[in-house]
């Protein structure tokens, strides 16, 4: 079966996007792994699926699969690409669309400057809902780890943006132990559903550097939900004022959060790389 797809990226966080409104494909973990293989398939960080909604009050259903075949709840960089895709493919004529995700509704807006603004919803801070193993909510939590054969306690913030995140504040993202500590914290027992692990360096009250070790993927050069979680963590710690420019290895995002009870607003670019067809 020949399937049409589009390759896109948001700040280098790359996606394969499938329109399952006008074509039909049975998406299985085996197929996702096959398509995600960078040597024998198309290759991507995540596979994005556009489906008709089951809720009549939204425009589309938005589904996300990691390279390892696991389905996840949210992807901010993917959401921006999703908005551009449905407009470019004329699946909608709206500049603002509402999508149904595994974690609820999300509003996507294409601005006149071609950047996409995403209402990411309110961050989840209650440990049981993240999920995170703690008796009560706190700004930071001590977590004991075995890091390179040594017992170590790290201090992190736990935030969900529809997917779980642990955020550490570091002196320098260039020298932060992303490659060694990320794989230890991602599956840590304190995160029952695993987590994305962010390493944030505060440059000024409106500017940070960030690297993210993503759940099911490894380090990527951009993570939209990771940028949102980092800014939430930084504001809760009293380190940041709004809005915040987040410098990721792949480029910059603008994040704004006015505090508990308010949604996180993420603004950034989305880019189409190429169109293709593949037998599945």
Q: Which helix (H) or strand (E) holds 231?
A: helix 224-236
Question: Which of 81, 190, 223, 228 is the catalytic position?
Answer: 223
Based on the residue annotation, tell me whether 81 is a catalytic residue of this protein: no
> How many CB atoms within 10 Å of residue 212?
30
Task: Measure the CA–CA gap between 25 and 19, rounded to whole angstroms.
Answer: 9
* Residue 190 annotated in active site: no
Out of 75, 107, 190, 228, which one is annotated catalytic? 75
The closest alpha carbon to 268, from 219, 189, 210, 215, belongs to: 210
- Cα 274 from chain centre: 22
Nearest CA to 80 among 224, 193, 218? 224
Return phi, psi of residue 72, to 5°: -120, 170
Using N-to-C axis directions, what is the helix angle for 76-88 and 224-236, rounded to 10°?
A: 140
Catalytic annotation, residues: 75, 223
């Amino acid at each position: 079966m020949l399937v049409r797809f589009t390759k896109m990226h948001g700040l280098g966080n790359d996606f394969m996007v499938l329109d399952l409104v006008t074509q039909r494909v049975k998406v299985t973990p085996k197929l996702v792994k096959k398509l995600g293989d960078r040597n024998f398939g198309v290759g991507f960080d995540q596979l994005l699926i556009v489906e008709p909604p089951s809720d009549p009050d939204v425009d589309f259903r938005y589904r996300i699969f990691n390279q390892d075949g696991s389905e996840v709840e949210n992807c901010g960089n993917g959401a921006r690409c999703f908005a551009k895709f449905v407009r470019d493919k004329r699946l909608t004529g709206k500049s603002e669309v509402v999508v149904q995700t595994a974690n609820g509704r999300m509003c996507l807006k294409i601005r006149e400057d071609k950047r996409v603004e995403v209402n990411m919803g309110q961050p989840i801070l209650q440990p049981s809902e993240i999920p995170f193993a703690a008796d009560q909510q706190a700004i930071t939590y001590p977590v004991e780890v075995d890091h390179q054969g040594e017992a170590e306690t790290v201090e992190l913030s736990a935030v969900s943006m529809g997917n779980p995140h642990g955020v550490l504040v570091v002196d320098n993202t260039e020298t932060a132990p992303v490659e060694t500590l990320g794989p230890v914290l991602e599956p840590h027992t304190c995160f029952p559903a695993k987590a994305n692990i962010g390493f944030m360096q505060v440059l000024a009250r409106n500017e940070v550097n960030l690297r993210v070790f993503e759940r099911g993927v490894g380090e990527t050069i951009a993570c939209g939900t990771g940028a949102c979680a980092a800014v939430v963590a930084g504001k809760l710690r009293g380190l940041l004022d709004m809005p915040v420019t987040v410098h990721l290895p792949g480029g910059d995002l603008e994040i704004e959060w006015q505090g508990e009870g308010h949604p996180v607003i993420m603004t950034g670019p989305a880019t189409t790389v190429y169109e293709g067809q593949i037998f599945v």
